[in-house]
């Protein structure tokens, strides 16, 4: 495939609006590319949704089975804060600007193009490469959950996700995430007669203090060597609508990043208990519901997949020139991980952000051959998101080597 074709595919994907949904047009586009290359593939509509779908494709046969994955959705856009149209590639030097360029249409495009170019050259693939292009990774991961439940990971020997890592990092562990929604129901009254009402905001603040204390108690002696500590945040709170009225309702949203030593299940049960005890002793009621609930994943840092990926990327990593500031930052990061870093190395690490692996590996949360490695910058979810053109092109070649070598 010529460079122009490679660039056009990424441009076309960025132009397809798949903000927090509407993945079907992306799946249809990928299907056409794969059909034209003679690669077996299938679109799987997302249950209970319209204009949403996963796509599954395979090359090769038999064992081992390397599952590769990328998501088709993106986060929302505030176009007023962009310096260019977020749904058209804007090139400035080596940088390609557009929504999803980093997170993660460049990684997905690179994987698909790598499969197509290997097929075009009739390169024999040892074992099976199975592509899972997912819907909804950014919100709840319903696409990955549906694929896992349908058995697409049952025979997998390894999982490679093309989320943005850049050249110098690979990720084998990621924290889980819980979003908790709280709704306080009180009774409105005139602020001159507060005894006539039930102040939902005050109730919510009191409960939040109790929850914060309980989370501290639960997490203070729990630590993971790779992922660190549980992270708890109160991110959203609303209540009342005017200064001279006792508020009858209030709501809050909590975000918790989890580690295997303090499970999602334990946290949810403990917080529900705090809410129930609060309700038993107070007027007014507070309701708790769980939004996102994805588990932490800690893979095998010594898995064959890690070795194959690092070997495939080595020559490209060594060609990169790092500034003194970039080198210092990487060395400091390595030090925090108990590692050392020199130019040309790939740090293998854990991160706070989650991936579709939390649904894919729900039955293999520790010790599985799992890695994140893909093109991108540090701009996911940001205005003026971008990816390096050269990095995008390099990762196509890196993926081709991985696909050829993993099964050997």
Between CA 343 and CA 167 the distance in angstroms is: 11
pLDDT at position 371 is 98
pLDDT at position 322 is 87
pLDDT at position 267 is 98
Strand order in the sheet with 95-97: 90-92, 95-97, 386-388
pLDDT at position 76 is 95
**Dihedral angle sign, alpha carbons of residues 190, 194, 196, 200:** positive
SS3 of 366-381: the string is: ECCCEEECCCCCCCCC
Q: Which helix (H) or strand (E) is 239 found in, with range?
A: strand 231-239
Between CA 96 and CA 73 the distance in angstroms is: 18
DSSP 8-state assignment for residue 360: H
Closest to 230 (Cα-Cα) out of 297, 139, 296, 300: 296
Between CA 173 and CA 370 the distance in angstroms is: 8
Between CA 147 and CA 136 the distance in angstroms is: 12
Instruction: Dump strand ranges (E) for 127-208.
Output: 128-134, 158-161, 169-174, 176-185, 189-190
Between CA 289 and CA 328 the distance in angstroms is: 43
Between CA 230 and CA 269 the distance in angstroms is: 16
* Cβ atoms of 121 and 404 closer than 8 Å: no
Q: What is the mean pLDDT of each run of 10 residues along the chain (408 residues)?
A: 97 96 97 98 95 97 98 96 97 98 98 98 96 95 97 98 96 95 97 96 98 98 94 97 96 97 97 98 96 94 97 96 90 88 92 91 96 96 98 98 97
Between CA 406 and CA 64 the distance in angstroms is: 8
pLDDT at position 187 is 97
pLDDT at position 339 is 87
94 classed as catalytic: no
DSSP 106-144: HHHHHHHHHHHHHHHTTPPPSSEEEEEEES-TTTT-HHH
Among residues 22, 23, 58, 73, which one is catalytic? 73
* CA 118 remoteness from chain centre: 27
Q: Kind of pairing, strands 176-185 and 249-258?
A: antiparallel
The verdict on pTM exceeding 0.85 is yes
pLDDT at position 352 is 82
């Amino acid at each position: 495939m010529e460079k122009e074709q490679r660039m056009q595919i990424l441009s076309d994907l960025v132009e397809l609006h798949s903000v927090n949904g509407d993945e079907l047009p992306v799946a249809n586009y990928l299907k056409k590319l794969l059909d034209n290359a003679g690669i077996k593939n299938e679109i799987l509509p997302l249950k209970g949704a319209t204009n949403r779908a996963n796509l599954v494709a395979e090359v090769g046969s038999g064992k081992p089975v390397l599952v590769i994955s990328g998501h088709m959705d993106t986060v929302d856009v505030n176009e007023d804060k962009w310096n260019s149209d977020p749904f058209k590639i804007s090139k400035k030097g080596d940088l390609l600007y557009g929504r999803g360029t980093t997170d993660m249409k460049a990684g997905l495009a690179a994987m698909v193009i790598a499969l197509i170019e290997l097929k075009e050259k009739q390169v024999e693939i040892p074992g099976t490469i199975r592509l899972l292009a997912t819907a909804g990774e950014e919100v709840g991961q319903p696409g990955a959950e549906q694929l896992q439940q349908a058995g697409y990971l049952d025979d997998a020997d390894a999982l490679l996700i093309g989320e943005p890592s850049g050249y110098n990092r690979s990720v084998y562990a990621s924290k889980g995430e819980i979003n908790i929604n709280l709704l306080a129901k009180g009774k409105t009254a005139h602020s001159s007669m507060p005894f006539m009402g039930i102040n939902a905001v005050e109730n919510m603040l009191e409960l939040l203090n109790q929850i914060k204390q309980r989370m501290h108690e639960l997490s203070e002696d729990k630590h993971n060597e790779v992922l660190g500590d549980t992270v708890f945040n109160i991110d959203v709170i609303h209540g009342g609508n005017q200064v001279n009225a006792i508020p009858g309702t209030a709501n809050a949203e909590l975000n918790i990043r989890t580690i295997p030593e303090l499970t999602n299940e334990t946290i949810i049960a403990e917080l529900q208990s705090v809410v129930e005890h609060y309700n038993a002793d107070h007027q007014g009621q507070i309701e708790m519901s769980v939004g996102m609930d994805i588990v932490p994943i800690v893979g095998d840092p010594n898995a064959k997949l890690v070795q194959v990926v690092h070997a495939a990327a080595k020559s490209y990593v060594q060609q990169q020139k790092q500034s003194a500031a970039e080198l210092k930052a990487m060395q400091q990061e390595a030090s925090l991980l108990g590692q050392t870093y020199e130019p040309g190395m790939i740090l293998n690490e854990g991160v706070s952000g989650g991936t579709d692996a939390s649904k894919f590996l729900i039955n293999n949360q520790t010790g599985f051959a799992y890695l994140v490695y893909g093109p991108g910058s540090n701009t996911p979810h940001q205005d003026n998101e971008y990816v390096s053109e050269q990095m995008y092109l390099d990762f196509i070649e890196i993926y081709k080597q991985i696909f050829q070598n993993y099964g050997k």
